Amino acid sequence: MNSIWELVCHLLFYKKRLLMRFLGETANEPQAEDNESTFRLPTETFQNWKETKQEYFYVHRELEKILAKSEHEDLYRQIPGERSLVLELKSLALHDAYHIGQIVSLCKMQGAWAGKGSF
């Protein structure tokens, strides 16, 4: 099983790749030899964990802004190397839900999940 940080790195890889492709910045998109390598961690320091989380939230918010500003026809625009924006966002949402479920399970196994009704 992957760690929470490894799962966040994996999710970040695919979110960032979609964002860069949507923006036409394919030269800046993350690269990986295979899916397994998307789980790789940077050097394990508290600062790197903090930066990984910040980048994840930033990329997520940028995709949110794109979706909020999109007109109907924008949603069906082909993204270089991908399908339409709407299909890629749908796929990304399902992918996120799967891995976020793993993160929740890990938190619960570690006893780090908030108790019932405490959120």
pLDDT one-digit tens code per residue, 40-97:
999 999 999 999 999 999 999 999 999 999 999 999 999 988 899 999 999 999 999 9
Helix ranges (H only) for 45-115 are 46-69, 72-75, 85-109
- Three-state secondary-structure class, residue 71: coil
Crossing angle of helices 85-109/4-22, nearest 10°? 170
Residue 17: CB atoms within 10 A of its CB come to 22
Q: How confident is the model at residue 117 (pLDDT cuts 50, 70, 90)?
A: low
pLDDT for the residue 1: 85
pTM of the full structure: 0.90
* In contact, 85 and 74? CB cutoff 8 Å: yes
Picking from 7, 30, 8, 9, the residue whose alpha carbon sits closest to that of residue 81 is 30
- Three-state secondary-structure class, residue 115: coil
pLDDT for the residue 111: 87
Q: What tokens were used for 53? A: 């989380």
